[in-house]
């Protein structure tokens, strides 16, 4: 843009600098009780009972599902909270995050 005073300026459709967002993923396993997963989804991800059952069954059938999309900090906190609840109940439930 030859008329501009700096290279930083006006690309009309330049992307806004939104911070990257992170998907929180819940993984299936053969041992964690379905009702525990439903409880986690209700408690930590503020789902209704019906939504929580639906997502839990998606994980159960497909192997994993996205349970929410958050900033890096919130995603890390959610993953840590899921892992801590599972650890306390000695369930092997796994939860990870992935850049969108």
| Residues contributing to the site for ligand TYC (CB under 6 A) | 26-30, 32-34, 37, 56, 59-60, 93
Measured from the CB of residue 90, what is the shortest distance to ligand TYC in angstroms? 14
Paired tokens of 88: 């306390």
Are the CB atoms for 20 and 72 separated by under 8 Å? yes
CA distance 51 to 55: 6
Which of residues 35 and 73 has its CB atom nearest to ligand TYC in the complex?
35
Instruction: Classify 75 as helix, strand or coil.
Output: helix
CB nearer to ligand TYC: give 70 or 82: 82
Closest approach of ligand TYC to the CB of residue 89, in Å: 12
State the nearest-atom distance from the C-beta of 79 to ligand TYC, in Å.
13
Which residue number, 13 or 61, has a Cβ lying nearer to ligand TYC? 61
Shortest Cβ 5–ligand TYC spacing (Å) = 54
Identify whether the C-beta of residue 95 lies closer than 8 Å to the C-beta of residue 25: yes
Torsion of CA 62, 66, 72, 73, to 10 degrees: -100
């Amino acid at each position: 843009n030859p008329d501009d005073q700096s290279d930083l300026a006006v690309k009309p459709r330049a992307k806004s600098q939104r911070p990257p967002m992170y998907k929180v993923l819940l993984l299936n396993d053969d041992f964690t009780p379905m009702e525990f997963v439903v409880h986690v989804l209700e408690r930590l991800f503020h789902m209704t009972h019906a939504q929580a059952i639906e997502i839990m069954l998606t994980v159960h059938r497909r192997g994993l599902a996205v349970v929410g999309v958050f900033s890096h900090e919130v995603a890390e906190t959610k993953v840590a909270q899921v892992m801590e609840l599972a650890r306390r109940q000695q369930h092997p439930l796994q939860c990870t995050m992935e850049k969108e």
